[in-house]
Every structure is written in structure tokens, then in C-alpha cells.
Chains A and B, each alone.
Chain A
């Protein structure tokens, strides 16, 4: 049995978590204030995930459109994912929630600003 000390990134509270792992499986998460903390603790030990936020170029406006994944994606894919994000351009109009890239590491890459 092994314990890991983590800081939860689920919200600004930053709870100190203790995760107990046995035979490659999470036995317990303590120190969390909410269910998000338990989920983070478990994921972080078994398979860390992160929400990716970035920007893509708006061809007909000359500036950037902020985007994010609509769910967390595997942490080890972040740099590879950035290459795909930076290869994309879009054309306005774009609305919040529009899917820019689908099937993106198990998530969708969505717009987070309205560009009329």
C-alpha cells in the first residue's frame, strides 16, 4: 500500500489530498471538501487529465478566438494537442460553444467567445 499527497486543482480552495493506492487501484481519497476532489485525486494517480485552453486564428478578423476542451484530456497529450490547435484557423461568425475540433482526445475543442 502506498499513499500520495496531492493538491487538488478542482477549484481555488486547493485542498490537500491524501490518496491511498493498492495494487494499482485507488483505495481512498481523503482531505477533499467535495466530490470533485475525490475524482481529481483518483484521476491524478491513475491517469492525470487537464482541461486545455488556447486560441485559434480568426482568418477574416485578424485576431484570436479563445478555445477550450469541453472536458479534461489526458495530460500527456497536451503538447501534441497544441500542435493540432495551432494548425486550425476559423472564420467568423463564431459563437460560444461552437465545436472547432471534434473527437479531440476524447473531448471537443469549443469556442469560448462570440465573434460576430
Chain B
């Protein structure tokens, strides 16, 4: 950084977690070496650094790593290439003209004028405020990830008698972690009739420790003035309304919330980059370019992924695409294809297809459990692709490849639909 507060870099990447690091490496390897990676935390790695459990990297490395180990592999690749990065650096704004303004204690406020920007800010947890749980505001209510940081990074146990609301993977992982550290996890309540977490985590985090998973249950009341003293939990009906007659009181000093993740897109919104209402991330084409030219997005800031391995893969695509854009210019089609979800499909990524002559992998999630699922991809009444699967669940991201040959000559709108067979 020079004394003047405006500098240049060919590519600026916002966020030094798994997505940002993989994007930086891929862009560098594709020929753009003038990259600047900006990270808010005090080290590269993002949330992986507090995910000390194993299970990362099976797809990428064929072995089971902890989060910090997975992050360290990418950090080593970043450092091997001497890709510049700044930690403890907060990005304040991203302008549509690709000027990124940030600050840290060394450089003060500074701007970097870039040819392309990759957004890789990740996501955050749905908080109590976002869940509208009624009652007082005593101490002892944390998101599962906050508790994870207390326990795994700082070495504090936030409570002894614990109830967990939401069966997302972080909640399940924390149920095991708190139990191993001596806390008593009394129940995991899940609003939906199915868990949002992976089956393996229900087995190794709950069943291993006899922690009950109460499906179609929610927290209906918070008790306690200065510190949480208990929660009321109750069953919900098919419209997810509390059944008051089923309410029961559970004494506890800690409530952990694991109720979903929200892509962290304040910078994106302020830049005027259009977002997808369902994913909460930017609308992108198959190169992971947003509707604002030269600004790309990848990882959990784009849509919440199940596995970091898939984040890395998507980030490599975004990083390589950003490098292609810098070196070869825009690749937007005059008449792009719009991809529309239908039936049980909640969303797709990408939402539009600009290029021609390339296979395109479409990712999607269903909104409910679908048995004997049939996927159909249509343009108007013309069937382009179909695929069957015994079961699709909301907790598992699905994908399929649309071959270039099928896409040739397609214009307008594609619908991606999943229904149960026979319906």
C-alpha cells in the first residue's frame, strides 16, 4: 500500500475464507497475478478456523480434515504464490465501477481500483431477532456458531444445561462439542418434520450421546430475567403454529440457535447488484458473474452450500472467470437464457446462462422432501434433460450438467422442475 489512499489491483477479492482463497489461487493460476485478498478476521480461513471437527476435504483431498487443516492447505497455496492479502481489514463499500473501499489500523481508509471484483463474504447465522422468539432478553442465548467460537477458539463453555433450537449441522456439531466438554444437552428442537442437518451428524452428534431430536417442535417461551432459567417448548401443527396444549417447560441456562444461514450481502446490496430473493445472494450467470459487469460472487455469500469442498469448487470457477474477464473481456450474451425454478425446486444457481458452447452445471435445492423425484429441464414444451433420484431433501444441494449440445440454440426461459413420479 502506498501513502496515497487510492491504489490499483487487477483483481480484488472480498473475504479470505475458503471461497476467497480458492478464487485468488484460481485467478492467479489463470494468469492474473495482481490480486489483493481482503479479510476482516485476524487470519485467512474464515469460519473454518472455528470448525475444529473433522469431515472436511473428503471430495477435495480424499481425506477427512478438520476445518483449520482444510484452511491451512489453501493458505499455504496463497502464500506459495505470494498473493498479497490484508487481514484485520474491513471492506466498507464496493462500487459498481469496481472500486473497493476498505480500512484497517495500518493504512486507515483506502480505496483500490480494480478491473474485477470477487465477492466472497460468506454467510452468517439467523439470530434470535430474525427468528422472532417472544419473551425477555436474558443472557444465555447464542447462535450455535457464536458458542462454537467461545468454546473452540477462546476456550469458554457458555453454559451447562443446554437446549438447542434448530437441527442445522452447526447445532448438531455443537450438541456433541458441548457434551464432550461436560455440558448437558437436553434436547434439540426442530420446527420442521425433518432435520436440516446431515444424517451422519444426527448419528454421531445426537444418537451417540442419547440427545433427543424433537421434530415439529419449537421454543415457545423464554424464561429468566438476567440469565436464562428455562425455555418452554411445544409441538407445532402442519402450518407450523404452536399447539399450546403440548407446551412443556425445560429448565436450562443456555439456548443455542441453529436455524439457518443468511448470505452476508450488505456490500452487494449497497453496490446495487441485483439479488435473488430466495438464495439471498446475487443473481449470477454460469461464470458466477453478477448482473453488474466485472463483479463475481462465490461460496456462501452466493448461496449456502452443504460442504466446503463445493465452496472451493465454485470459488475456483469464479476466480478463473474473473481472470478470463480481465484478460479477455466481457462474455455476456446478447440474449441470455433465464433459468426458472418450478415444482418443488426452490432456486437454481446460476439463474442465467450467458455463454455458448460450454457445458453448464446447474445447482438447485428442493423446498420439501421429494420421494421418487423426477427432474425435468424444459424450454417451453421441449424436454432438454431429465433425471431420476430416489429421494431429494432440502438439506442437500443437487446438481446436474446441461451439455453444450442441448443448450445450442436455446433462448428465453428454461424451467427446472422436480416432482414426485406419477404426479
Pair from one complex: yes
How big is the A interface, by class? 20 to 34
For the complex, what is the distance from the CA of A2 to the CA of B342, rounded to whole Å? Answer: 45
B180 and A79: CB pair below 8 A? yes
A112 and B69: CB pair below 8 A? yes
Contact code string A72-110 (vs B, CB < 8 Å = 1, else 0):
000100110010001000000000100000000000000
B72 touches A (CB below 8 Å): yes
For the complex, what is the distance from the CA of A75 to the CA of B180, rounded to whole Å? Answer: 12
Contact code string A41-72 (vs B, CB < 8 Å = 1, else 0):
00000000011111101000001101110000
B153 and A96: CB pair below 8 A? no
Contact code string B296-318 (vs A, CB < 8 Å = 1, else 0):
00000000001100000000000
B169 nearest CB neighbor, chain A only: A12
Tell me the smallest distance from the CB of B134 to a CB of chain A, in Å. 35
A11 touches B (CB below 8 Å): yes
Q: With A51-B54, A114-B72 in contact, do A63 and B155 touch (Cβ < 8 Å)?
A: yes
Q: With A53-B53, A112-B52 in contact, do A66 and B68 touch (Cβ < 8 Å)?
A: yes
A66 and B180: CB pair below 8 A? no
Q: Which residues of A contact B67 (CB under 8 A)?
A: 66
- One of B49, B54, B199, B306 near A113 (C-beta < 8 A): B49
A112 and B68: CB pair below 8 A? yes
Q: With A51-B64, A79-B180 in contact, do A9 and B203 touch (Cβ < 8 Å)?
A: yes
B53 nearest CB neighbor, chain A only: A53
B181 touches A (CB below 8 Å): yes
For the complex, what is the distance from the CA of A113 to the CA of B415, rounded to whole Å? Answer: 45
Contact code string B67-80 (vs A, CB < 8 Å = 1, else 0):
11100100000000
Q: With A53-B52, A54-B180 in contact, do A64 and B153 touch (Cβ < 8 Å)?
A: yes
8 Å CB interface, A1-25 against B: 6-12, 14
Q: With A9-B204, A14-B199, A113-B49 in contact, do A68 and B72 touch (Cβ < 8 Å)?
A: no
Residues of chain A having any CB pair with chain B under 8 Å: 6-12, 14, 50-55, 57, 63-64, 66-68, 75, 78-79, 82, 86, 96, 112-114
